[in-house]
Amino acid sequence: LKFPTRSEHIQRQRLVAAQDVGHRTVLPGTAMERVNRLAAHVTPGLAPQPVSSGILEVMRTKIAVLAKEKAALKADLLKNHGERKIQDVTVEMAINGARAIKSMVTETSDLDANMGIAYRHLSLYDVNKKLPKAPGGQVALPEGAFWLLFTGQVPTDEEVKGLTEEFHKRSAIPENVKSTIDSLPIQTHPMTQLSVAMLALQKDSKFFKKYQEGMKKDDYWAYALEDCLDVIAKIPVIAATIYRRTFHDGKVPAYDTKLDWAANFAQMLGVNESEGFKEAVRLYLMLHADHEGGNVSAHATHLVGSALSDPYYAWAAGLCGLAGPLHGLANQECLSWLLDVQKQLHGQKPTKELMTDFANKTLKEGKVIPGFGHAVLRNTDPRYMLERDFALKHCADDPLFQLVDACYQAIPPVLLKQGKVKNPYPNVDAHSGQLMYFYNLREENFYTVVFAVSRTMGVMAQYIWSRAVNLPIERPKSLPLDDLLSLAKKHRWQRPKGNVSDQQ
């Protein structure tokens, strides 16, 4: 017996559907054609799977098992607990950016007010300790962080090595993408170039192609995985290309398959050949890989992906959010502030006492000290502390680090004395710029691109899981302010118990 191929099966369905509506031909783009295409997604049968490599088959096997468990948990929650209330929503929450409203599902990481960000319930201190390292290195490899976020398991050295090799195979940039980048004016902001390049890559989306052909919902994640691995593999090469054409001679150092993912990125930037810089880049990319699902770039990616837009469309939207000054630009703003302070000190060595006076003066003038405080955290950001430990080992004599160190000692007590902030301690942005600047990556407009390279791992892991458990399209309810006032008056007798914290 000769069984029909998947495409033949779908075409036969469409012909049958055409006969059912009066033997009329179903034209592409019509409502009936779209209905038939959607119907194909629930047709019994096995969809053809992408070509496998050894490590890819391991990843697929792991997520196939885990996805069944999570899908069963989701079904149980909806069936047995769907009406259970988990939180009260206040007017303040509705107006102030939905902050602290528990209304999303994200498997990969969770932000705790005291512990900071945890990757699959592991603190960043444990992540850095337990994940595989480069030969002779002391920093966890970002590939290991992606494996952890994706599978929920600490990878072995061999698994990380296999994943790195998989990224090598997928790292080539199509000529159309190179041409698209080269067509942009040099003055175009690097984040704009990166967003455009991400959309230029979209023509090769495997998810998009298979969706158009028709595939079962249970197969979405397999093709999402294909695209997500491609995005992670290519984005360091694209970022380095953008950096070299925008700030240097346009010549990108050769990709080296003997290096790991982060070390390749560091080398292609062409600013510092030392192993110290490679370790600094590994640390930065590992620490910024994920930050649960509610931040602007992750949420934008999730929102667009929930419409079944492929990973390229989704992450292009996320990149546009990351470019905002209230999100991804904080890093470079902190460095700009540090360099300005350094000029104002006129060569004086920064001390705790000197920076205490400077902080008090700055606040009295009504100015903000960037890099201190956090919307959720109530302790010093663990990412900051890990970067501080690195700096103490690699660049303790750097004048800019000495300024960062003096700020670390002086500014929290000043902010605490004011009594106006919940968290006076430094966040990761107060330190990241110093490390990049020390290793000669000094173009501040590029810093958000480095952030984007890192965060790609987290949002892609989230995208895969959203498809694996078939999360629906996101559609929150919105209200005019007048209606919100009416609701507030209607429920004015209800008072929340205690303070509504950011952690809720």
Question: Annotated active-site positions, please?
Answer: 327, 374, 429
Name residue 269's amino acid.
L
β-bridge partners, 372: 426
Tokens of 300: 């934008």
Please tell me the distance from the alpha carbon of residue 101 to that of residue 111, in angstroms, as a whole number: 13
First to last CA, the chain: 60
Angle at 279 between CA 298 and CA 454, to 5 degrees: 10
Dihedral class, residue 121 (left if φ above 0, else alpha if ψ from -120 to 50, else beta): left
Question: At CB < 8 A and 24+ separation, what contacts does 340-346 make?
Answer: 341/403, 342/399, 342/400, 342/403, 345/403
Are 119 and 109 a contacting pair, CB within 8 Å? yes
Backbone angles phi, psi at 111, to 5 degrees: -100, 115
Distance (Å, whole) CA 391 – CA 407: 15
* Angstrom distances, CA of residue 283 to CA of 78, 130, 188: 39, 14, 28
Question: What is the Cα 406 distance to its own chain's centre?
Answer: 31
DSSP state of 112: E
In the chain, the amino acid numbered 114 is: N
Which residues make Cβ contacts (< 8 Å) with residue 91, sequence separation at least 6? 484, 487, 488
48 secondary structure, DSSP code: P
Residue found by looking up tokens 């902001």 in the block: 189
CB 428 within 8 A of CB 291: no
Rounded distance, CA 201 to CA 237, Å?
A: 13
Angstrom distance (rounded) from CA 287 to CA 264? 17
DSSP for 177-213, written as a single string: HHHHHHTS-TTS-HHHHHHHHHHHHGGG-HHHHHHHH
Contacts of 124 (CB under 8 A, 6+ apart): 116, 117, 118, 287, 382, 383, 386
Reading the block at residue 156, the tokens are 């072995």
Residues 166-185 as b/e (b if ≥16 CB within 10 A, e otherwise) read: bbbeebebeeebbebbeebe
63 alpha carbon, distance to own chain's centre: 20
